[in-house]
A and B are shown apart, each in its own frame.
Chain A
Amino acid sequence: MLNKFLNPYISPKLDKRSMHLRKLVIRAFEGGMRGHLGSSMSLIEILRVLYDDFLSFNSKEPEWCDRDRFILSKGHGCLAQYALLADKKFISLNDLDKFCHHDGILGGHPEKSKIPGVEFSTGALGHGLPVSVGMAVAAKINKKNHKIIVVTGDGESNEGSIWEAALSASQNKLNNLIWMIDYNKFQSYGQTQDVINLEPLNNKITSFGFNVTEVDGHNTKSIQNALNSCLNKSLKPNAIICHTVKGKGFPFAEHNENWHHKSNMKPSEIDAMYKCLEV
């Protein structure tokens, strides 16, 4: 248990790439003038490591059969995924500008039928892990080596379906499954410890039969090491608890439940966000 993460802490400084990706998130936010900013900012480094260093994919052939499968189960954090999909050229930067537009492909939650690189439409919480279990079983039947990675939120882990699927992942020995939890300690109403306390989360998931690692979810090297450690020969499924900061990158938004979702921001507020991302 990494207790140091359980209280608000000073998270690492962002590097240029993390700042660039956050700028893409703000660009999309400006397009729709709404979105789950706080929930997206806690995700950036997790997704950055996945797309930069871990996942096998081909943005020119999104359905390539040997790709790793990635599901953002906390679909409301989609602005972060859209930033990475644009950065990796699954979609264009212009698509970001049309976030939530009537004729745009990027909605407030990601849809498989519209967005190249999105494996499954999410938004309703608690769906990604069960679907990932099915994908992991399919890979086993087909004797394929690709991995299935799913990111859930901490508030999302209140859903019973998450734990139903966790039981099954263990029972079916799905060591090709990696469940990452964006543990930013906040859900919509407030702090998770006040709404539904997940602690001791590590013990809970371990007792469900997973190999569990805990990392600073903004430390890219730690995330990468944790992901690489999932490639062992254990028969257990894997879980990585990523301790993150809601609203990471913007001091006025960090650890602030009012930044879970934002809409109709003033230009000065947008400028303030960009200012935080100046080197």
Chain B
Amino acid sequence: MRKTALNSVYELAQKNKQVVFIGSDLGPGVLDEMKINMPNKFYMEGVSEQHIIGMSAGLALEGFIPYVNTIATFLTRRCFEQIAMDLCLHDLPVRLIANGGGLVYAPLGPTHLATEDFGILKTLPNITIIAPCDALEMKELMKCTIDWPHPIYIRLGKGGDKIISNSKTNFKIGKAIIMKKPEEGLFITTGVMAQIAAEACNILKNEGIQCGLMHMHTVKPLDQDSLLKWIPKVKAIVSVEEHFRTGGLGSSILEFLNDKMNDTFINFHRIGIPDYYTKNYGSQKSLLETAGISPKSLALEMKLRLKKINV
């Protein structure tokens, strides 16, 4: 997914003179071809997240479209004020490409786990937050970034994730994708959680329970139309995200339900990472399982919500 995103930056730069790339001390060889062929559009800055956000704002104020890339935790926690004031207050078209969203950097520990990035950024006016589910969707998304007039935060997955998106789907920023048509239950996911929820749907299908899957690649702005259309048609909804249960997609849906559907009882449950810093290392998969995020646990939660089993 990361390779696709960065290659797309170079492709976009070849078509649009306003595209520039700013990295923060990334690994050797990143976008070498762009560096060689477009040296004045490639800036590998130091370990200085506050500065690179300001620098990108300065470039954007002059009409450029900067694509900024570094690790998700540093791109959100370290430079929050710069994102708020330099990018969001000025509503500038800067694209933040965040490596290692969620639990991707599991072996590296809590300093590198971006499990609150949606929550940090979601409060800011003007920002758009996107978490694609695979490399194919990333490619489609990157095409849309060129003329989106607001700052965008793009959360990258681990890479090598199974392709489950469809190139024929008309990808639109802010428009959820129905990957499986909602029937009894509905999973609402973002990022690579679509993959786990799709497996959960298959488990349930084998047990005779038909569930749908809505992939909300865009966490902000929330696609309220899709929620309004599909939520009344199902008996239970489970949101799934590789993010703290607080402040992420599930919280946004709760706010939406309170604001727009508070006259109806909605059988809704959020699955995410509990309110603690992980004490384990291992892998993204092992940490997800520890947090109760696996196809089996999702399927179990949906059955509970649909009252298909008793506790």
> Cβ of B90 and Cβ of A137 under 8 Å apart?
no
> Cβ of A127 and Cβ of B85 under 8 Å apart?
yes
Complex Cα spacing A210 to B255, Å: 51
> Cβ of B62 and Cβ of A127 under 8 Å apart?
no
> Cβ of A121 and Cβ of B62 under 8 Å apart?
no
Write the A128-143 contact mask toward B (1 if CB under 8 angstroms, else 0): 0111111111111110
Complex Cα spacing A140 to B58, Å: 13
Chain A residues 211 to 261 lying within 8 A of chain B, measured CB to CB, are: none
B136 contacts partner chain A, Cβ-Cβ < 8 Å = no
> Cβ of A141 and Cβ of B56 under 8 Å apart?
no
**Binding stretch for chain A, among B46-54, B111-119, B148-156, B221-229:** B46-54
Chain A residues 134 to 163 lying within 8 A of chain B, measured CB to CB, are: 134-142, 160-161
B58's closest neighbor in chain A, by CB? A134
Distance in Å: Cβ of B197 to nearest Cβ of chain A:
40
Interface centre among B53, B54, B63, B90 (most CB of A within 10 A): B54
Complex Cα spacing A172 to B48, Å: 14
* Contact A124:B81 (CB < 8 A) given known A133-B51, A167-B48: yes
Interface centre among A124, A131, A133, A140 (most CB of B within 10 A): A131
> Cβ of B50 and Cβ of A137 under 8 Å apart?
no
Complex Cα spacing A140 to B57, Å: 16
A137's closest neighbor in chain B, by CB? B59
Complex Cα spacing A53 to B84, Å: 35
* Contact A167:B46 (CB < 8 A) given known A131-B86, A133-B54, A141-B20: yes
> Cβ of B40 and Cβ of A164 under 8 Å apart?
no
| Residues of the B chain whose Cβ atoms lie less than 8 Å from the Cβ of A133 | 51, 54-55, 58
Write the B18-51 contact mask toward A (1 if CB under 8 angstroms, else 0): 0010000000000000000000110101101011
* Contact A168:B48 (CB < 8 A) given known A121-B90, A141-B41, A161-B82: yes
| Residues of the A chain whose Cβ atoms lie less than 8 Å from the Cβ of B60 | 134
> Cβ of A142 and Cβ of B62 under 8 Å apart?
yes
> Cβ of B40 and Cβ of A141 under 8 Å apart?
yes
* Contact A137:B48 (CB < 8 A) given known A127-B86, A131-B86: no
| Residues of the A chain whose Cβ atoms lie less than 8 Å from the Cβ of B120 | none
Distance in Å: Cβ of B289 to nearest Cβ of chain A:
39
Chain B interface bracket (under 10, 10 to 19, 20 to 34, 35 or more)? 20 to 34
| Residues of the B chain whose Cβ atoms lie less than 8 Å from the Cβ of A139 | 62
A120 contacts partner chain B, Cβ-Cβ < 8 Å = yes
> Cβ of A134 and Cβ of B62 under 8 Å apart?
yes
| Residues of the A chain whose Cβ atoms lie less than 8 Å from the Cβ of B164 | none
B60's closest neighbor in chain A, by CB? A134
Distance in Å: Cβ of A64 to nearest Cβ of chain B:
13
> Cβ of A131 and Cβ of B50 under 8 Å apart?
no
> Cβ of B86 and Cβ of A138 under 8 Å apart?
no
Distance in Å: Cβ of A67 to nearest Cβ of chain B:
12
| Residues of the A chain whose Cβ atoms lie less than 8 Å from the Cβ of B261 | none
* Contact A130:B82 (CB < 8 A) given known A112-B90, A165-B54, A168-B45: yes
Contact of B55 among A112, A141, A165 (CB under 8 A): A165
B64 contacts partner chain A, Cβ-Cβ < 8 Å = yes
B61 contacts partner chain A, Cβ-Cβ < 8 Å = yes
Q: Interface majority SS on B: helix, strand, loop or mixed?
A: helix
> Cβ of B81 and Cβ of A131 under 8 Å apart?
no
Contact of A131 among B40, B45, B54 (CB under 8 A): B54
A119 contacts partner chain B, Cβ-Cβ < 8 Å = yes
> Cβ of B41 and Cβ of A168 under 8 Å apart?
no
Interface centre among B41, B48, B58, B85 (most CB of A within 10 A): B58
Contact of A130 among B41, B46, B54 (CB under 8 A): B54
* Contact A137:B81 (CB < 8 A) given known A130-B55, A160-B50, A161-B50: no
Complex Cα spacing A94 to B235, Å: 61
Contact of A135 among B58, B81, B89 (CB under 8 A): B58
> Cβ of B55 and Cβ of A168 under 8 Å apart?
yes
A77 contacts partner chain B, Cβ-Cβ < 8 Å = no
> Cβ of B55 and Cβ of A131 under 8 Å apart?
yes
Distance in Å: Cβ of B209 to nearest Cβ of chain A:
52
Contact of B40 among A112, A132, A140, A171 (CB under 8 A): A140
> Cβ of A134 and Cβ of B57 under 8 Å apart?
yes
| Residues of the A chain whose Cβ atoms lie less than 8 Å from the Cβ of B40 | 140-141
> Cβ of B43 and Cβ of A172 under 8 Å apart?
yes
Distance in Å: Cβ of B82 to nearest Cβ of chain A:
7
A209 contacts partner chain B, Cβ-Cβ < 8 Å = no
| Residues of the A chain whose Cβ atoms lie less than 8 Å from the Cβ of B63 | 138
| Residues of the A chain whose Cβ atoms lie less than 8 Å from the Cβ of B85 | 121, 123-124, 127
- A140-B40, A161-B50 known, 9 other contacts, Cβ within 8 Å: A120-B57, A124-B85, A134-B57, A134-B60, A135-B62, A138-B58, A138-B62, A138-B64, A168-B46
User: Which residues from chain B sit less than 8 Å from chain A, CB to CB?
Assistant: 20, 40-41, 43, 45-46, 48, 50-64, 66, 81-82, 85-86, 89-90
